[in-house]
Amino acid sequence: MPLTVAVGDITQLDVDIIVNAANEALTRGGGVCGAIFRAAGPRLIEACARAAPCPTGDARMTPGFDAKARWIVHAVGPIWRGGAYGEAALLESAYHRSLERAKGAGATSIAFPAISTGIYGYPKEEAAQIAVSAVRAWRALSKTPEEILFCCFSESDAEAYRRELGKAPRC
């Protein structure tokens, strides 16, 4: 199944796993994180407290509780500090660790937001390139999860992912 891009509310997607752009403490934030916490309900706060902390570049998984998805993977991407502090490797790792969690759960579908591009300030074009590259590298080794979706908040963000998906994979 091809990698796909959607624009909208990640909490409304019909997928096994939604990925939360989380902070290391796994506490409720704004943006995508806040929307996921609202959709999942108050039990998510307790589950995240038990799973915390989560280092940058890693991911933890909780039940989806009241959210549409069965599970939520909380991926901690890097704060952008100019690109000279290993941000690209940490962002790639956050995607890879999320996919490992999904495979371990037996999930067939997963939806990613644009990790680190909100308050963490990662440049959107670079983040899209890293996300697509990381997912393609995963897909070359594993066919699980079968459906991988990039869910963007805006059409302009989605275009960055579509451009990357339209490029030939790098060797």
- What pLDDT does residue 170 have? 61
Taking the model in full, what pTM does it have? 0.96
Residue 68: inside a domain, yes or no? yes
Tell me the pLDDT tens digit for each residue of 98-121.
Answer: 999 999 999 999 999 999 999 999
pLDDT value at 171 more than 80: no
Tell me the pLDDT tens digit for each residue of 46-70.
Answer: 999 999 999 999 999 999 999 999 9
**Residue 154 belongs to domain with CATH number:** 3.40.220.10
Residue 72: inside a domain, yes or no? yes
Is the distance from CB of 73 to CB of 113 less than 8 angstroms?
Answer: no
Residue 171: inside a domain, yes or no? no
The domain of 160 spans 4-166
What distances in angstroms separate CA 107 from CA 99, 100, 110, one per listed residue?
9, 10, 7
Give the total number of structural domains in the chain.
1
